[in-house]
Amino acid sequence: MVSFRSMLSFGSRGDSRDASGDFRDSLLPHARVHRDVHSAIPAKRVTAVALRLKYLVEQAVPCELKETQITRPHSEIITHSVVQLAREAGGPEDRACVVFCLLVCLRWFKRQAVLEMFDADLDNLRAEACQVIAKMIIESCEDHDYLFQEVLLKRFSVLKNGKESMPTNSVEKAVDLHATRVISSSGYQKCIQYLWKGWVAQDLSDPMQFTSYRHIANKSFWVHFDHDRIRAPRYQNMFQIIVSALYLILYTISINTVNAHGSIDVEEGVLYLFTLSFIADEAGKLWKVGRFYLSFWNVFNLTLYALLAVSFVLRMTALTHPLDSEQRKSYNLLSYNFLASVAPMIWSRMLLYLDSIRFFGAMLVVLKVMMMESIIFFALLLVVIIGFAQGFIGLDNADNYREDTYFVLSAMTKAILQSPEFEGFEDFGHPFGLILYYLFTFVVMVILLNILIALYGQAYSDITENAIEEYLALFSQKTIQFVRAPDENVFLPPFNLIEIFGLIVPFEWWLSKARYAHLNDFVMQILYSPFMVLIALYESREARQVSANRARGEADDDGTEEWEELQGEIDMESEGWSKRVIATVPDVEEDRCCQMVRKLAKEVEDLRRILGAHETQNRDMDTGERALMRIQEPTSGDQEL
């Protein structure tokens, strides 16, 4: 949790300070970073590079084509020369911002597709071309340090309405725009893995810089016994899973140990304390980030916490009444009813922290898309319900006496749930009531529900076809949520209550910044010490693998597989095997028909050259024969003799 001072410096995300509107275009929350954050390259130059790339893409994709012509490997549209020209759009000085500018062009084309729907297919195709070029540039970069520090993690701005946009980097921009093709590139995912492990992290003193963890290859246990390592996303996620499992255990104990007198036992008290810490955490993030922080899971969690808060308030209300009074029993029973009703939500909440596992992550993406597709169904359903409900209520009011409103609403609800009841409509405004109910049942059960099934099927097929890319996008989004707004003091729930009531309230307002930071470090060292033991053990063992990789000259995260064990002992070239393979394997960079045409053209050219040489030879022979004949012809004097 960010301290009170940093909250004041960050400000509210919901204000209108950013006139460029980047917040509006973003799918993820941006932290209000320190005021000295600026673009690594002047925004005007970055915008100029983006305009050059936009012109290049428009010329490369001048008309509507099949998407496979753009996205397939060795495309005839996005050729190596086009990619090389795009790489040179920034020149030697601004080449680091080319990938960022391609993502800006992606957003421009997506925006243009919305504004000019008659050219939406062409603009969406150009947006896809931007992703293809960006992916090829990322994957062709072999210097990972340059790729991470300059291309993917350096922050840039563009001009929008005459003002600079909020500086952001390519990693965040790709997640915001859901650019799955860029996200699934090898270099991007390697950067995400380094961020996830905490090997690369944002410098708290300079938000423009991302620094590498110095002790990756250090095998010492005590070097890794550091509370700052809790900043790594994988450890924060692990801690949240442990806390959520403990939260689930506390709930299970509380719901199965009902206190007849309404008193709160230890397990239930700790459960409500955990709930208070989660509410404080959500409220703090919502205050800092604003309405853009809200998402499906945030609303889900807030609903869960609200129901638990109602249960707690009812329990406290019950304690204000006499021990054996009916009011106390009634409030106590109602409190337990609210507590029991959130059981499905408590268990479903665990899925939020298991999305780093591929199976759960892919299924969560499917559920999310299905929920979004459901908006169309519920919008149509709402209009149909209002129309038919007004008709039924009008029939009920025809005799100037309304008495069947509950019956009508109940029957309509059962029809929506595919359990219609036609009894009771025979005498309800006969025959109009029965006809209306038959028509309502047909519209809901035959038309609307089949539309919903079709939408769900389409959403499922779209996600499963790109399951890997969608999972990588979800994992990248989860990682960016941890690193995008690094906290000065990482007090995860339920420890954030200790920070609020044990540090911020009594000490922060009068202690100096240095002494307050020292106090925070001391408290975090104590609170996280059991967890830090596990982190230190894991990282000290991981450092051995990193040291071995560095000794072999390999990347830090490489692992030796079975097929790599004898890689250094076999020389394919000296054995002649590589030449045989090259001579045998077909060239996949070019279509087979094109290869045959090119081969035929080469043979025709060889034949033309042979014929030309033969004609030249014949011409020379004819010339020689004519010259010889002239020599052999008798002169006039010889003829007279």
pLDDT at 376: 80
Asked whether the beta carbons of 126 and 82 are under 8 A apart, the reply is no
DSSP string, 261-327: T----HHHHHHHHHHHHHHHHHHHHHHHH-GGG--HHHHHHHHHHHHHHHHHHHHHHHHTS-TT-HH
Given a cut of 60, whether residue 24 has pLDDT beyond it is no
Q: What CA–CA distance (Å, rounded) separates 174 from 242?
A: 30
> Domain map of the chain by residue range?
12-221, 231-351, 358-480
DSSP string, 135-161: HHHHHH---HHHIIIIIISS-B--EET
pLDDT at 325: 82
pLDDT at 403: 64
In sequence order, the 6+-apart residues with CB closer than 8 A to the CB of 193 are 557
Condensed to tens digits (0 to 9), the pLDDT of residues 332-342 reads 889 889 999 99
State residue 168 phi and psi, 5-degree precision: -145, 165
pLDDT-derived band at 30, boundaries 50, 70, 90: very low
Percent of the chain with pLDDT over 90: 19
pLDDT-derived band at 603, boundaries 50, 70, 90: confident
CA-closest candidate to residue 463, choices 372, 379, 380: 372
Asked whether the beta carbons of 498 and 523 are under 8 A apart, the reply is yes
Please, how many CA atoms are within 13 Å of residue 627, restricted to the half-sphere of its CB? 6
Q: What CA–CA distance (Å, rounded) separates 5 from 513?
A: 9
pLDDT at 634: 58
CA-closest candidate to residue 499, choices 9, 10, 2, 8: 2
pLDDT-derived band at 1, boundaries 50, 70, 90: very low
- Map residue 212 onto helix, strand or coil: strand
pLDDT at 570: 77
- For the chain, first and last CA: distance in Å? 127
Mean pLDDT (whole number) for 105-121: 90
Q: How remote is the C-alpha of 117 from its chain's centroid?
A: 26
Residue of higher predicted confidence among 571 and 330: 330
- Map residue 436 onto helix, strand or coil: helix
DSSP string, 566-579: TTTT--HHHHTHHH
Q: For the whole prediction, is pTM greater than 0.85? A: no
pLDDT-derived band at 136, boundaries 50, 70, 90: very high
Pick the range with the lowest mean pLDDT from 126-130, 357-361, 435-439, 478-482. Answer: 357-361
In sequence order, the 6+-apart residues with CB closer than 8 A to the CB of 277 are 493, 494, 495, 496, 497
Condensed to tens digits (0 to 9), the pLDDT of residues 190-230 reads 999 999 998 888 877 776 778 888 888 888 888 888 888 88
CA-closest candidate to residue 28, choices 463, 487, 478: 478
Q: What CA–CA distance (Å, rounded) separates 578 from 623?
A: 52
For tokens 């299905």, the residue is 370
- Map residue 211 onto helix, strand or coil: strand
pLDDT at 450: 86
Q: What CA–CA distance (Å, rounded) separates 518 from 51?
A: 49
Condensed to tens digits (0 to 9), the pLDDT of residues 250-297 reads 999 988 887 777 778 888 889 999 999 999 988 887 887 666 677 777
Instruction: Spell out a b/e string for 589-627, using b for 16 or more CB atoms within 10 Å of the CB, else e.
Output: eeeeeeeeeeeeeeeeeeeeeeeeeeeeeeeeeeeeeee
Residue of higher predicted confidence among 311 and 209: 311
The overall average pLDDT reported for the chain is 81
Condensed to tens digits (0 to 9), the pLDDT of residues 427-483 reads 666 777 788 888 888 888 888 888 888 888 887 877 777 778 888 888 888 888 888
In sequence order, the 6+-apart residues with CB closer than 8 A to the CB of 98 are 49, 53, 86, 87, 89, 90, 137, 151
pLDDT-derived band at 102, boundaries 50, 70, 90: very high
- Map residue 202 onto helix, strand or coil: strand
Mean pLDDT (whole number) for 406-414: 82
Q: How remote is the C-alpha of 137 from its chain's centroid?
A: 20
Given a cut of 50, whether residue 9 has pLDDT beyond it is no
DSSP string, 540-602: HHHHHHHHHHHHTT--TT----GGGTTTTT--HHHHTHHHHHHHHS--TTS-HHHHHHHHHHH
Q: What CA–CA distance (Å, rounded) separates 486 from 483?
A: 5
